[in-house]
Amino acid sequence: MSWTRLLAIARKETIQIRRDPRSLLVVLAMPVMLMALMGYGVNLDQKHVPLCVYDREGSQQSQDLLHRFVSNEYFHLALDARDYSELTDGIDRGTCTAGIVIPLYFSSRLSEGQTVGVQAILDGTDNNSANLAIGYATQVIAGFSADVQLDTLRRAGGTMNPPSLTVEARTWFNEELESRNFMVPGVVAIVMAVIGTFLSSLTIAREWERGTMEQLISTPVTRSEVVVGKLVPFFVIGMFAAAECIAISTWWFEVPFRGSFAVLFCASALFLMAVLLMGFLISAAAGSQLVASQFSLVLTFLPSFLLSGFAFPIDQMPAPIRLVTRLIPARYYVTLLKNIFLKGSGLAAIADQMAAMALFALIFGVLTIRAFRKQLA
């Protein structure tokens, strides 16, 4: 491999990029736009659930229970219904996601030590929101019930023995249990996959459409020099986009970063190499910029979003789909980012994921050179 010819190809590709400043601006602005849209739009935290209440008794104790619902960040009062039909109508219209009905004789039964049922109605059209809402409601009811039992024992002159077994939970790595802290690093992987593949998917197809490939073929440059030479400027642009994404994650979204920037740089470089070479392969096989751009988006964004573990846990997927996820480079990069950002993992702990991305880069590189060879022939 001649360094002179390689640098000449890299310089030629850099000139072509500079001649299209609008496309370059789109590429550099896209990470900011995607990070903002997905960072704010993709959020699994459910807070301020709209709540409808129907207090059939209206006593001090029933109002105390309802106050516990609306005095935290998980619920807000959307409708204080006057009857049962108004509450159900509010849920039907989407005014509220959850409804609480307190029965008659609520306080008298509690004072007599009887068990009282409080009805909770959930809008199950969004099962995730419904599951979270019922969990929050159960916690509120359990806290109220414990206070009622303790008050009853005190008035009877008794004491409540402490439980023989208690759980003291300690959360590691994401102490606040904020979904933003593990979603935003995943957004970085998706943005990098889309940007990297889109950048390189047009390069070889553009040479054929502009009629410059014949001139390139007539030179003594080798196939590997063409691929590597074209890869260099896109790699620099891609790493700049990665730096943008990481800066937005840490400074704007305030995701804790506990790892090493050197380890993160190595991981990002390997992943970028893999997706750039994947884009080159698409470009060499497609032969058209329009087809190459469409294929690059379909083959990167959807698999990276659905099958990388970014939005949906891989261990909950069917076994055949779990096998398919092993063919998605973004799966390994998402794992790396979460480990580096939140756990502060070093190279030894992420060696398997690094090796997988290096293997992807090698495979895509060999396939790209072979596909490019067929075109030269």
Specify the DSSP class assigned to residue 316: G
Q: Are 208 and 351 within one domain?
A: yes
d(CA 300, CA 191): 10
| Long-range contacts (CB closer than 8 Å, 24 or more residues apart) made by 216-223 | 217/376, 219/5, 220/5, 221/5, 221/8, 221/9, 222/1, 222/5, 223/369, 223/372, 223/373, 223/376
Residue at 171 is within a domain: no
User: Residue 138: which CATH number?
Assistant: 3.40.1710.10
3-state secondary structure of 142: helix
Residue at 160 is within a domain: no
Residue written as token pair 């390994």: 332
Tell me the torsion sign for CA atoms 323, 298, 331, 37: negative
Q: Residue 88 contacts by C-beta under 8 Å, 6 or more apart in sequence?
A: 99, 121
pLDDT reported for residue 146: 83
3-state secondary structure of 101: strand
Residue from 111, 91, 110, 93 nearest 101 by CA: 91
Residue at 162 is within a domain: no
Q: What average pLDDT does the chain have?
A: 83
192 phi and psi, to 5 degrees? -65, -40
Q: Are 25 and 53 within one domain?
A: no
Q: Are 334 and 255 within one domain?
A: yes
Q: Are 84 and 200 within one domain?
A: no
Reported as a single tens digit per residue, the pLDDT across 224-256 is 777 788 888 889 888 988 898 899 999 988 889
Highest mean pLDDT among 164-173, 205-214, 250-259, 366-375: 250-259
3-state secondary structure of 49: strand
Residue at 238 is within a domain: yes
pLDDT reading at 374 higher than 50? no
Q: Are 131 and 188 within one domain?
A: no
Q: Are 334 and 186 within one domain?
A: yes
d(CA 219, CA 185): 44
Cα–chain-centroid distance for residue 102?
39
d(CA 339, CA 336): 5
pLDDT reading at 305 higher than 70? yes
d(CA 336, CA 310): 12
Last residue within a domain, chosen from 155, 190, 209:
155
Residue from 126, 68, 66 nearest 99 by CA: 66
Q: Give the domain extent around 84.
A: 49-155
Q: Residue 194 contacts by C-beta under 8 Å, 6 or more apart in sequence?
A: 30, 34, 296, 297, 300, 301, 304
d(CA 120, CA 98): 7
Number of Cβ within 10 Å of residue 146's Cβ equals 11
Q: Are 290 and 219 within one domain?
A: yes
Q: Are 24 and 122 within one domain?
A: no
Residue at 174 is within a domain: no
pLDDT reported for residue 223: 75
- SS3 sequence, 192-232? HHHHHHHHHHCHHHHHHHHCCHHHHHCCCCCHHHHHHHHHH
d(CA 181, CA 192): 18
CB of 134 closer than 8 Å to CB of 62: no
Residue at 357 is within a domain: yes
Angle at 272 between CA 275 and CA 193, to 5 degrees: 55
**Number of compact structural domains in the chain:** 2
Residue at 167 is within a domain: no
Q: Are 30 and 83 within one domain?
A: no
Reported as a pLDDT band with limits 50, 70 and 90, residue 293 is: confident
Q: Are 107 and 146 within one domain?
A: yes
Q: Are 208 and 343 within one domain?
A: yes
Residue at 166 is within a domain: no
Reported as a single tens digit per residue, the pLDDT across 50-86 is 999 999 988 888 899 899 888 888 898 999 988 889 9
Q: Looking at this protein, which amino acid is placed at residue 42?
A: V
Q: Which two tokens stand for residue 14?
A: 């850099």
d(CA 328, CA 304): 7
% pLDDT > 70, the chain = 90
pLDDT reported for residue 327: 92
Q: Looking at this protein, which amino acid is placed at residue 60?
A: Q
d(CA 272, CA 270): 5
Q: Are 63 and 39 within one domain?
A: no
pLDDT reported for residue 272: 92
Reported as a single tens digit per residue, the pLDDT across 150-204 is 777 777 666 666 666 667 778 888 877 777 888 888 888 888 888 888 778 777 7
Residue from 238, 249, 237, 236 nearest 188 by CA: 249
Residue written as token pair 């402490």: 162
Q: Residue 246 contacts by C-beta under 8 Å, 6 or more apart in sequence?
A: 188, 264, 268
Reported as a single tens digit per residue, the pLDDT across 107-121 is 888 887 788 888 899
pLDDT reading at 33 higher than 70? yes
Bridging pattern class, strands 119-122 and 49-55? unpaired
Tell me the torsion sign for CA atoms 194, 200, 202, 205: negative
% pLDDT > 90, the chain = 19
